[in-house]
Structure 1
Amino acid sequence: MSDKGCIKCGSTDAGKKEVAMTGAGLAKMFDVQNNKFLVVYCKNCGYSEFYNKEASAGGNILDFFFG
């Protein structure tokens, strides 16, 4: 098995999206979407990983996810 590609299906076709999610407490109560993430996903099988947007760089995450 190759060291590169999706850990579920081996595909090297990836995509990325930015998403925002509601936190807990008052943020949830007022629907404040203050948690931002970068989602890297396999376009073949849909396997996804979430990365904290504030702590990551998009290009480096794709390299990490798909080698």
Structure 2
Amino acid sequence: MTNGGCIKCGHTEAGQKEIATSGTGLSKMFDVQHNKFMVVYCKNCGYCELYNKNTSAASNIVDLFFG
């Protein structure tokens, strides 16, 4: 889609949530959640993408999601 929007359905409204996950090895065994991600999702169809929270700001992430 050339004018932006969700790549699955074309909808133009997105939401975002932050999640934390454990890694492998000892962090998994002790449930240490040190990996943080921003989830950007389409409010219409639910399609989502994960972005490493340490690398970019939330507003830039939404721009990436919609192209």
Instruction: Compute the TM-score of the two structures, normalised by the length of structure 2.
Output: 0.94
Q: Give the root-mean-square deviation of aligned CA atoms.
A: 1.0
Q: Structure 2 matches for 1:25-40, cutoff 5 A? A: 25-40=25-40
Greater helix proportion: 1
Aligned to 2:66: 66
Percent identity (aligned): 69
Which structure 2 residue ranges, 5 or more long, are not aligned? none
Instruction: Compute the TM-score of the two structures, normalised by the length of structure 1.
Output: 0.94
Aligned to 2:6: 6
Contact 1:17–1:40 (CA under 8 A) maintained in structure 2: yes
Aligned to 2:50: 50
Give the C-alpha shift of residue 36 in structure 1: 0.1
Q: How many residues matched? A: 67
Give the C-alpha shift of residue 66 in structure 1: 1.6
Which structure 1 residue ranges, 5 or more long, are not aligned? none
Give the C-alpha shift of residue 2 in structure 1: 3.8
Q: Which runs of 4+ in 1 moved over 3 A?
A: none
Give the C-alpha shift of residue 56 in structure 1: 1.4
Give the C-alpha shift of residue 3 in structure 1: 3.1
